[in-house]
Structure 1
Amino acid sequence: MCYDDNARPPIPDGSLGNAYGEDLVLTSADGNRFMAYLARPEQTSDRQVLIYPDIRGLHQFYKDLALRFAELGIAALAIDYFGRTAGLTSREESVFEFRPHVQQLQLETFFQDVEASLSYLRQNVGAQGSIFTVGFCLGGSFSLLSGTKPDLGLKGIIAFYAGLSRSFGDGPSVLDQAKNITYPLLGLFGGADAGIPVSDVRKLEEALKLKGIDEKIVVYQGAPHSFFDRRSTDFAEASSDAWKQVQDFISTHS
């Protein structure tokens, strides 16, 4: 598990504006209804992020994260993965057993949900907005895989501690699919993440360089998986820099 119910995203440095958020239910092309949370800045934004949560789906950490983005002037839509198998039920840690639902995830239907989410952003937030994916853990893997879909019309992909050895069904690993990424990429990893060896991160970096992709990979030495947490005061400097990297990446590629 990436974040528990008490985890909260760090506060970005600098001046923050006002933001407001709302719970949504979106519908995919196959009729699947899934939960989402939209956070809007006070002023109209031409920058947008689609947030892919960790393995637990849409829980409070990602609603708060969406609001932090909106306070920076970036509209944010966080989505859930489990509408097909768990419906619109709570994703609170105490009541939701995520593992059986994760095992049933399929890339084809996941990307149907992504397309519905992107359509919602373009129709309701800004048709000409620059859209980026931002994913964490499982969502980081999904963010990298989104990078292999040029028809999504993204401006870039951002992945926090993406599982690189993960595969879906009988398909190749996320790392093996990196050669198909077409968008600019920002990858943020912990150097002490026991589940994601730095050697795999360097293989990802090399694959992107060989492809000629505009990429930046940052490894925070000594930082564990899920270091991006307001409670992790020992890694506050890494969290602050991660926010800066994300903002700079979005500004550069918008």
Structure 2
Amino acid sequence: MCHSHDSRPPAPPRSGAVGATSSSTLTAADGTEFTVSTALPAEPARTGVVVLPDIRGLHPYYVALVERFAEAGVAAVAIDWFGRTAGVCEGGTRGEDFDWQQHIPRTAPEGIDADVAAAVAHLRAEAGEDLPVVTVGFCFGGSHAWRLAGGDLDLAGCAGFYGRPSLVGDAADRAHLPTVMLIAGADTATPVEEQLALAERMRAAGAEVDAVVYDGAPHSFFDRSYGDWADACDDAWEHLLALTDQVARR
């Protein structure tokens, strides 16, 4: 499990007012309806983020995370993975008892890409049609965030925590977008060496890759309850916001 049910993300290093938050249903190009949570900064955003959750889908952690991005001046939307197999989220999020294990194997890259494309369009409708958008993913979502660096969606960059290189696959050899890899040094789910090898493979394909290893940090260290890893959380925020600032300048 990526986080405890009551875990919440740490605060960003810069903070402003949140302008609006909402829970809504989007429709992908294949007709699938899925739940999203959106937060917009009070001031005009220069960058957008599509948050790709862990295996649990749209957990309250990710509702809180899009608000943290909005505090940092970034428009953000978190998507749920399971519209095709479980329908929209009752109450706006997946509950602690949601049986993600039966749904994750039925979640395909093509469906994920369709949902991300719809989320990008949603952000631009809310925050500006020229908004550069990056993905930020966690575990299962981190893997697909890195995979999208080699895809053809209208994205400006990709960032991921605790991803699995096996889910990136051959897309690594097509990687061309700026990519951030935030790697837990004590991750028991995926060896650090495999993630660093993926970074080199993506660099060889032409992507600019910022790969950071947090020595000793556990899987899912990006949690405000992990007091021992507060410095790692702060540094991870700096790398994420450096990516959003970079694509805004471009």
Normalising by the smaller structure, the TM-score range is: over 0.9
Residue in structure 1 matched with residue 106 of structure 2 by the alignment: 104
TM-score (structure 1 length as normaliser): 0.92
The Cα shift of 1:160 comes to 0.8
- Report the Cα distance in structure 2 between the residues aligned to 1:109 and 1:212, rounded to whole angstroms: 26
- 1:162 and 2:156 equivalent? no
Q: 1:14 to 1:44 in 2, by over 3 A?
A: closer
Cα RMSD (Å) of the superposition? 1.4
Q: 1:83 to 1:15 in 2, by over 3 A?
A: closer
Q: Deviation string for 1:222-248 (max 9, x for gaps)?
A: 001100000011111100100011111
Residue in structure 2 matched with residue 203 of structure 1 by the alignment: 197
- Report the Cα distance in structure 2 between the residues aligned to 1:228 and 1:54, rounded to whole angstroms: 12
- Report the Cα distance in structure 2 between the residues aligned to 1:89 and 1:36, rounded to whole angstroms: 9
Picking from 139, 142, 161, the partner of 2:141 is 139
- Residue 133 of structure 2 aligns with an amino acid whose one-letter code is I
Residue in structure 1 matched with residue 127 of structure 2 by the alignment: 125
| Secondary structure of 2:145's aligned partner | helix
| Secondary structure of 1:51's aligned partner | strand
Q: 1:97 to 1:215 in 2, by over 3 A?
A: same
Residue in structure 1 matched with residue 206 of structure 2 by the alignment: 212
Picking from 238, 243, 249, the partner of 1:249 is 243
The Cα shift of 1:93 comes to 4.3
Q: Identical aligned pairs, as a percentage?
A: 39
Structure 1: segments with no counterpart, 5+ residues: 167-173
| Secondary structure of 1:37's aligned partner | strand
- 1:43 and 2:43 equivalent? yes
Q: Deviation string for 1:174-228 (max 9, x for gaps)?
A: 2543121110101101010011111102211211222232111000000011000
| Secondary structure of 1:165's aligned partner | helix
- Answer whether contact 2:175 2:206 (CA < 8 A) is retained: no
Q: 1:149 to 1:209 in 2, by over 3 A?
A: closer
| Secondary structure of 2:39's aligned partner | strand
Q: Deviation string for 1:140-199 (max 9, x for gaps)?
A: 01101111213x121110111112233xxxxxxx25431211101011010100111111
- Report the Cα distance in structure 1 between the residues aligned to 2:27 and 2:240, rounded to whole angstroms: 29
Residue in structure 1 matched with residue 178 of structure 2 by the alignment: 184
- Report the Cα distance in structure 1 between the residues aligned to 2:203 and 2:109, rounded to whole angstroms: 26
Q: 1:85 to 1:15 in 2, by over 3 A?
A: closer
- Answer whether contact 1:10 1:239 (CA < 8 A) is retained: yes
- Residue 204 of structure 1 aligns with an amino acid whose one-letter code is L
- 1:76 and 2:70 equivalent? no
| Secondary structure of 1:103's aligned partner | helix
TM-score (structure 2 length as normaliser): 0.94
- Answer whether contact 2:12 2:71 (CA < 8 A) is retained: no
- Residue 240 of structure 2 aligns with an amino acid whose one-letter code is V
- Residue 86 of structure 1 aligns with an amino acid whose one-letter code is A
Q: Which has the higher helix share?
A: 2
Structure 2: segments with no counterpart, 5+ residues: none
- Report the Cα distance in structure 1 between the residues aligned to 2:32 and 2:111, rounded to whole angstroms: 9
